[in-house]
């Protein structure tokens, strides 16, 4: 680790690979021999075009998807996708069907409700969102035009470990906090979106990966900038894209390829997560995980200590040990370690060493 850096467990914006930050730093004043920063170049320039198209290609390659899928770059965060999805695909007689597995899943459903087109397929709210509803609990409605799931619940620390079977109803997933963290059969999804500031870059762009046949018929009566079609027909260059963010996402995608792709990163992510969960499970109840074991997230590990006073003490002492960003979300309290792709095994090991010491000193 660099001497003046910390281990950053923030949920988003979140830690980025040091290698990528350094590359950006090196290229900042003179990108690709242009004598300008990437932030100062026209989005119609050939130097930018290469960055834009390579990022799209690398994302598709990492996901193992072919020419029947498109990658779109959209602003407004994952939160705008909550509204765009029902606007583009639902109607009074074709509802958006939602699995409520946490706060972002519920916010997505709320946007469909505002438009009068939302129905609920399952919910784990009564269980404090400690679990992901199972396949046999999903009541996919017959009039659904899609099933929406939040694949990793950043705040509660739960994650899907199966791909829902929908009997032909298009599957839409918010993967903001686990995008490109493990290999999946992505061809089972019609549309995946992810705000990149969790796992893939700086805040400012949302990646949408969609089946072309699913998005080619956006309705005509919604604003141009809210139609998926606009982005796919114009290569996400209908208006000025967030060029610097896309450039950073491209750098992270190529870093991921150098790590060995999604299979290699998933192995590392699984090792990091089990290190943490093992310490929680062997703490004789000092640390209590929020998620049920079979729904545990590999990306956000949520847990509590015996008292709120101890939690505050833990956070303060962790910070003194260069372990930052582990306070839980304000809506649920407790602690949360976000251990995205760019968090090293060493970083997680430092945290678990600290947890063991803290327990010994405070039990
Ligand atoms: C952070 C997050 C969001 C919200 O993302 P914004 O880009 O801030 O709108 C939505 N869904 C999930 C799963 C998230 O983690």
Q: Work out the pLDDT band at 162, boundaries 50, 70, 90.
A: very high
Tell me which residue range forms the domain holding 113: 34-258
Nearest CA to 325 out of 298, 341, 293, 347 is that of: 347
Confidence of residue 268 (pLDDT cuts 50, 70, 90): very high
Nearest to 326 by CA among 114, 11, 4, 1: 11
- List ligand 1's pocket residues with C-beta within 6 A: 12, 77-79, 104, 150, 154, 174, 176-177, 195, 198
Tally of CB atoms within 10 A around 293: 10
Give yes or no: residues 191 and 330 share one domain: no
Rounded mean pLDDT of 279-296? 98
CB-based contact 218:230 (threshold 8 Å): yes
Let me know if residue 4 belongs to a domain.
Answer: no
10, 324 in Cβ contact below 8 A? Answer: yes
- Total structural domains in the chain? 2
- Distance separating alpha carbons of residues 236 and 328, to the nearest angstrom: 35
Residue-averaged pLDDT of the chain: 97
Q: How far is CA 295 from CA 93, 125, 137, 167, 231, in A?
A: 33, 14, 14, 23, 34
Identify whether residues 133 and 208 lie together within a single domain. yes
Q: Is residue 195 part of a domain?
A: yes
80 has pLDDT over 80: yes
Residues placed in the known binding site: 44, 78-79, 104, 154, 174, 197, 239-240
CA distance 162 to 174: 15
**For residue 1, pLDDT beyond 80:** no
In terms of domains, do 47 and 180 share one? yes
- Give me the DSSP letters along 147-189: EEEESEETTTTEE-SSPPP-TTSPEEEE-TTTTTSS---GGG-
CA proximity to 241, closest of 24, 34, 70, 55 = 55
Q: Which residues are annotated as a binding site for pyridoxal 5'-phosphate?
A: 78-79, 104, 154, 174, 197, 239-240
Distance 312 CA to ligand 1 centre (A): 26
- The number of residues in the chain equals 363
CATH classification at residue 340:
3.90.1150.10
Domain harbouring 108, CATH code: 3.40.640.10
Pocket test for ligand 1, best of 81, 106, 174, 180 (most atoms within 8 A of CB): 174
Residue 21 within a domain: no
């Amino acid at each position: 680790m660099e001497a003046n850096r910390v281990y950053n467990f923030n949920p988003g914006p979140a830690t980025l690979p040091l290698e990528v930050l350094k590359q950006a730093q090196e290229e900042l004043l003179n990108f690709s021999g242009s004598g300008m920063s990437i932030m100062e170049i026209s989005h119609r320039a050939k130097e930018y075009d290469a960055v834009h198209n390579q990022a799209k290609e690398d994302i598709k390659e990492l996901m193992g998807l072919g020419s029947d899928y498109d990658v779109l770059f959209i602003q407004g965060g994952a939160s705008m996708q909550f509204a765009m999805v029902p606007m583009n695909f639902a109607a009074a007689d074709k509802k958006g069907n939602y699995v409520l597995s946490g706060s972002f899943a519920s916010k997505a459903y709320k946007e469909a409700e505002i438009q009068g087109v939302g129905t609920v397929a399952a919910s784990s709210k009564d269980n404090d969102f400690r679990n992901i509803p199972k396949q046999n609990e999903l009541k996919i409605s017959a009039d659904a035009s899609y099933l929406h799931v939040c694949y990793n619940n950043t705040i509660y620390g739960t994650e899907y470990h199966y791909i829902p079977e929908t009997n032909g109803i298009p599957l839409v997933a918010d993967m903001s906090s686990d995008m490109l963290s493990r290999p999946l059969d992505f061809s089972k999804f019609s549309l995946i979106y992810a705000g990149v500031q969790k796992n893939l870059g700086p805040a400012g762009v949302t990646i949408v990966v969609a089946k072309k046949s699913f998005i080619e018929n956006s309705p005509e009566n919604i604003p141009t900038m809210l139609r998926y079609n606009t982005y796919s027909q114009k290569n996400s260059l209908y208006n000025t894209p967030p060029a610097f963010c896309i450039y950073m996402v491209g750098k992270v995608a190529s870093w991921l390829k150098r790590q060995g792709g999604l299979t290699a990163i998933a192995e590392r992510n699984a090792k990091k997560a089990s290190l943490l969960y093992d310490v929680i499970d062997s703490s004789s109840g000092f640390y209590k995980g929020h998620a049920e074991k079979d729904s545990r997230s590999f990306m956000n590990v949520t847990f509590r200590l015996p008292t709120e006073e101890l939690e505050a003490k833990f956070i303060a002492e962790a910070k003194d040990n260069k372990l930052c960003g582990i306070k839980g979300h304000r809506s649920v309290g407790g602690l949360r370690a976000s251990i995205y792709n760019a968090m090293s095994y060493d970083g997680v090991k430092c945290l678990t060493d600290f947890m063991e010491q803290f327990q010994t000193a405070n039990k």
